[in-house]
Amino acid sequence: MAFRFENLEIWQLACNFNDKLHLITKKFPKSELFGLTSDLNRSGISIPANIAEGSGSNSAPEFKRYLGIAVKSLFESVSHMFIAKKRNYINESEFSNLYSDAELLVKKIKSFIKTIN
C-alpha cells in the first residue's frame, strides 16, 4: 500500500528540492552548523513533510492548510538561500538553479491547492 503523498508530483519535487539544499549545505562552514546550515535544512525538509502530513488530512481545508505551511517553509528556504549567497556560501549559478526550482515548486503547490475541493 502506498501512502497518498507518494504519488503527488509536488511531494516528489519537494523531496528533490530538499536533497539539493542538503547537498549545498554540506559546503557551508562548520561555524554555520547550528545556524544557517541547520535553518536551511529544517525549512527545506519541512516542505515535503507538510505535504505528506497534509495528505493524510480528513478534510480539504485541513489539507490546504498544510500545503500553505509547505509554501511558507519554501519561502523561508529561499530567504535562507539569499543569506547563503550574500555570505558567499553558494555561488550565483547554484543560487539561480535553486531559485528556479523554488519558483516552479511554489507554482505547482499553489496550482494543486486550487484543485482541492
- Residues 81-117: tens digit of each pLDDT: 999 999 999 999 999 999 999 999 999 999 999 999 8
CATH code matching the domain that covers 4-115, chosen among 3.30.950.10, 3.40.50.970, 1.20.1440.60, 3.40.50.300: 1.20.1440.60
- The pLDDT value recorded for residue 117 is 87
Cα gap 10→87, rounded to integer Å: 30
| Cβ atoms within 10 Å, residue 89 | 20
Return the domain boundaries, the chain: 4-115
This prediction's pTM: 0.95
DSSP-assigned states of every residue in 29-69: -GGGTTTHHHHHHHHHHHHHHHHHHHHT-SSHHHHHHHHHH
**pLDDT at residue 55 in the model:** 98
Residue 1 confidence (pLDDT): 62
- Kindly report, residue by residue over 29-85, the tens digit of the pLDDT: 999 999 999 999 999 999 999 999 999 999 999 999 999 999 999 999 999 999 999
